[in-house]
Amino acid sequence: MKIVTKDFHISSKSRNQMIDITSQVDSAVEQSGIKNGDAIVYCPHTTAAITINENADPSVPHDILLTLSELIPQHQPGYRHSEGNSDAHCKSSLVGCSEQVLIKDGRLNLGTWQGIFFCEFDGPRSRTFFVQVRGE
């Protein structure tokens, strides 16, 4: 089995933002030369996350961010973390810091409406994510 890892650097522009990174992940798969296997997309941050959802209608990421912000308010009297970004930590844990996508015939085997998003919860910041492609 072959393993190829690629690092990506992106800049978020607002405190909460979902950035479509499907084309970057696709390029990592293409460059790896791996035809069948999987790709793990991982972000090494405690206030960001990776998710897969619809990237056809921009209202979907908007509504996901709105729902997360209603579930997890930015300010709560009970928060203890002194950085003031407890909501971002909670959102990161809820959404999760990685996704795994299958690779078929050298392409990401995503559904028609699916895209891969880097989720920023404490931006704007410079961020990193890794794509590890494994297979043959």
Q: Does 85 bind Zn ion (CB under 5 A)?
A: yes
Piece of 36-44, 50-58, 75-83, 91-99 that binds Zn ion (CB under 5 A): 75-83
Q: φ and ψ at 64, to 5 degrees?
A: -65, -45
CB of 88 to Zn ion, least distance (A): 7
Q: Does 83 bind Zn ion (CB under 5 A)?
A: yes
Q: Between residues 24 and 47, which has the closer beta carbon with respect to Zn ion?
A: 47
Distance CA 128, CA 136 (A): 26
Q: Which of 44, 48, 62, 69 is nearest to 122 (CA)?
A: 48
Calculate helix-pair angle for 59-71, 86-95, nearest 10 degrees.
Answer: 120
Piece of 37-45, 65-73, 76-84, 103-111 that binds Zn ion (CB under 5 A): 76-84
Residues that bind Zn ion (CB under 5 A): 83, 85
